Structure 1
Amino acid sequence: MREDENHKEYLEEPLHLLRKKVIPKLPANMQNNVVGEVERLEELFVDARPPRFAIVGRRGAGKSTLVNAIFQAPVAAIGTVTAETEHGSWHTYTSSSEKAVMEVLDTRGFGEGDDTRFQQTQEDAWASALSTRYPDAILFLVKAKEVDARVTEDITQLKELREAVKEKHDYLPPVIGIVTQVDELDPAYDTDPPFEEEKGANIEEASAHLGRMLKEHLPDIARIFPVCAYTVFKNGEMVYDRRWQIEELIDFLLEQLPESTWMQWARITQAKAIQTRIAKTIGKRASAITGGVGAQPIPLADLPFITGIQMSMIAGIAYVSGRKLDRKTLTEFLGALGANIGTAFAFRQLARSLSKVAFPVAGHAISGTLAATATWGLCKAAILYFIERRPAHEAKQAYSSEIE
């Protein structure tokens, strides 16, 4: 089964059924809360798409190097859809496992606008690229040794690109200034991070200078990041890693991206902190949904829908960790929790629904609380198992401690 079909089966279908079968039966005051959480999960699951960036700067600023540093793989060399730089188009960078995709706007480098080889103007090239989509953010790259070399001219082009996006798509993408190749600043002998005090001061000065230049023209600049993105790959594997500030950059970029791109961003960056953060977001929303549905007064009828949302949550967490979405993955996790816990969980679910009959008023709130608690316990267990790669007994313990 193709992975997009698995998305539908494990991520989308439970939300669709919830909208169709359960939400219309909820009390009006509860519907809005549940619908709001469902919409947020739908943005993550149903509307999921690759993140899109415009990575701009002069030739040699380190655009491909930065992409490889983010992927931790030589994708800029082996995963690019070929395109003519003159005409402006989108490069699709794909991880070697084909589990993650990022789209990058490709136009000629800044400072090449008057190149007589090109028949199109820079503005026409941008218009062509922006006709179908727009970047979620613009990364403006400047070499550390060149932060005072013709930067004003480049910033003018940067503003024009941003305004072109605004005019075409009514969206003003955030701009992140990135000072690249900071390892080349003086002193020359200090090449490996963490850098010593003298080089650190030079890095800070270069970053501050670029920040001042940008804010003169773009007062709402998101942030300036000095980075070193140098890596060496052999046979597709990283054999030398001199990255610095890359983790901080990708964490900051998560804040700039729409949630519809978060799952792909987690798989691209392979950053546990980002994976965990997204997983907890999924878990909190799933808990709110199951808590709301669990409190509704239809004994037993909510069981399959709550279970469906919980399975969708587990599948989402497995996906952001880099795992394939298939029945084997879910079965593996549920098996890791153990048959005893699985049986106990089934009885708890049954008791939770029957509590509505025994306690017609208070029972609803108790039922909803137990459903939300069990869902959050499963979230914690899934994070340990899929993202932290912890042993099965630790995942089981995390689940047990939450519900007992």
Structure 2
Amino acid sequence: MSRQALLSVYDKLAALLEKLPGSLQEPVLRELEPIKEIFLRQRAPRVCVFGENAIELPALINALAGRAVLHAPILRGPWTPVQGSGTVDWADLRGSGSLSGGPADIYLLVATSSFSASDAHRTAEVLAAATPREGGGAAGLAVLTLGDAGDNARVLSALAETQASGAVLFSTHLPHSGLDHGFTTVSRSALGDRLCEYIPEESQLEMARFFSARGAQARLAGTVLKSFGAVAGIIGVQPIPLADFPILLTLQMFMVALIIHVSGREFSLRLAGEFAASLGVGFGAGLVFRETARAAVKILPVWGHMISGGVAGAGTYALGRAAIAYFIEGKRVLRLSHSRKLRKPLPSPGP
């Protein structure tokens, strides 16, 4: 879902919220502010790579993305957007060159057992000349060694002899064979989680999507869940006529769409339908709400059965929690009957 599409859906939601009593609009919009911060201000993170020239950068980026996303070398200096499940801007400063087009959000030093003192001094030179990030402060250095723990220790030892050692945020190592055979999902996710800790908030979503960083994705989806659950609770406890139904329905559908987006997938009726089926929500019942949902935001209308006055907040929270488990955590979702009793769990979607 592009930023423009997100903005369009958000505008439709805001138009519906204008139908609420004036006393409700301010607290509702306040709860939705974190959503604007994460999704409407999102941008691609900028990762500047340096280290050994012998490492094939396209092979590394493809291995980190978990699939082939880059088929040619990137230019030295300017940012090159690379789109996988998310989009990351990469720049190559190995050997020579200087950044152009904006400061880095984080520097990634990629090294092997061949990492030399000259490589370490080049790293220090780049960091010393770095332009501060927007909002102040220089980007830090993440060290990725392609080798074993001993190789990683030798790289850090070489950096310790330079001014670059003070900029190191964290270091980790992955097998060199990953350049040819790919890294495991767990290792890619762990690296993405660490990178997300040190970059600006508005760039974390795309980084988490690109690396399939499950920890960061769950945290961002949790913010979505908290905001939408609070908004539904505010609306649900008010004695509003039936006009509140399309508002609550739209909130729930928008929430699920955002969680799907955080997971690295693009929202589709098929995905929403699979999730609805995993909850045991019959499409026959969904048809009752189809026209209302179309008028609201034109996203699959299957959540209306969970809306019920004062339990709107709890129902929305339960729905969002199930969506996080299904799309991000890869867990089985407990199937719900129309009487809301738990049935047997259904399998979650494949990777």
- Normalised by the length of structure 2, the TM-score is 0.75
The one-letter code of the counterpart of 2:267 is L
**Match for residue 218 of structure 2?**
276
Deviations 1:205-225 (A, max 9, x none): 3254256346x4564542233
CA–CA separation in structure 2 for the residues paired with 1:71 and 1:83: 16
Task: Say whether the 8 Å CA contact 2:188–2:212 is kept in structure 1.
Answer: no
Task: Say whether the 8 Å CA contact 1:137–1:175 is kept in structure 2.
Answer: yes
CA–CA separation in structure 2 for the residues paired with 1:170 and 1:277: 23
Indicate which of 13, 19, 31 corresponds to 2:14.
19
Indicate which of 137, 147, 161 corresponds to 1:172.
137
Deviations 1:383-403 (A, max 9, x none): 3333355566x2538x9479x
CA 287–220 in structure 1, closer or farther in 2 if over 3 Å, else same: farther
**Match for residue 154 of structure 2?**
206
CA–CA separation in structure 1 for the residues paired with 2:168 and 2:26: 36
Per the alignment, in what secondary structure is the counterpart of residue 142 of structure 2? strand
**Match for residue 382 of structure 1?**
323
**Match for residue 55 of structure 1?**
49
Indicate which of 69, 77, 83 corresponds to 1:94.
83
CA–CA separation in structure 2 for the residues paired with 1:209 and 1:243: 29
Give how far 1:61 is off: 4.9
Structure showing the higher helix proportion among its residues:
1
CA 263–60 in structure 1, closer or farther in 2 if over 3 Å, else same: same
Task: Say whether the 8 Å CA contact 2:111–2:145 is kept in structure 1.
Answer: yes
Task: Say whether the 8 Å CA contact 1:174–1:221 is kept in structure 2.
Answer: no
The one-letter code of the counterpart of 1:386 is F
CA–CA separation in structure 2 for the residues paired with 1:26 and 1:230: 61
CA–CA separation in structure 2 for the residues paired with 1:153 and 1:380: 47
CA 245–176 in structure 1, closer or farther in 2 if over 3 Å, else same: farther
**Match for residue 349 of structure 2?**
none
CA 53–24 in structure 1, closer or farther in 2 if over 3 Å, else same: farther
CA RMSD across the alignment: 3.7
Deviations 1:34-55 (A, max 9, x none): 3343121123333333322111
**Match for residue 45 of structure 1?**
39
Task: Say whether the 8 Å CA contact 1:71–1:268 is kept in structure 2.
Answer: yes
Give how far 1:374 is off: 0.8
Indicate which of 213, 220, 240 corresponds to 1:298.
240
Task: Say whether the 8 Å CA contact 2:105–2:139 is kept in structure 1.
Answer: yes
- Normalised by the length of structure 1, the TM-score is 0.66
Deviations 1:224-282 (A, max 9, x none): 3334353255xxxx5x6589954432111122233433443343223444443333332
The one-letter code of the counterpart of 1:38 is L
**Match for residue 106 of structure 1?**
92
| 1:210-249 correspondence runs (5 A) | 210=158, 212-213=160-161, 216=163, 219=166, 221-231=168-178, 238=181, 241=183, 246-249=188-191
CA–CA separation in structure 2 for the residues paired with 1:53 and 1:174: 10
CA–CA separation in structure 2 for the residues paired with 1:46 and 1:280: 17
**Match for residue 192 of structure 1?**
none
CA 31–224 in structure 1, closer or farther in 2 if over 3 Å, else same: farther
CA 23–320 in structure 1, closer or farther in 2 if over 3 Å, else same: same
Gap runs ≥5 in structure 1: 113-121, 184-199, 353-366
CA–CA separation in structure 2 for the residues paired with 1:319 and 1:301: 28
CA–CA separation in structure 1 for the residues paired with 2:51 and 2:152: 20
CA 324–224 in structure 1, closer or farther in 2 if over 3 Å, else same: closer
1:396 aligns with 2:349: no
Task: Say whether the 8 Å CA contact 2:145–2:152 is kept in structure 1.
Answer: no
CA–CA separation in structure 2 for the residues paired with 1:248 and 1:383: 18
CA–CA separation in structure 1 for the residues paired with 2:143 and 2:233: 43
**Match for residue 297 of structure 2?**
none
Task: Decide which structure has the larger Cα Rg and report it.
Answer: 1
**Match for residue 191 of structure 1?**
none
**Match for residue 362 of structure 1?**
none
The one-letter code of the counterpart of 1:34 is V
Deviations 1:288-314 (A, max 9, x none): 222233344533333222211211111
**Match for residue 62 of structure 2?**
68
Per the alignment, in what secondary structure is the counterpart of residue 241 of structure 2? coil
Indicate which of 92, 96, 105 corresponds to 1:136.
105
* Matched residue count: 325
Give how far 1:377 is off: 0.8
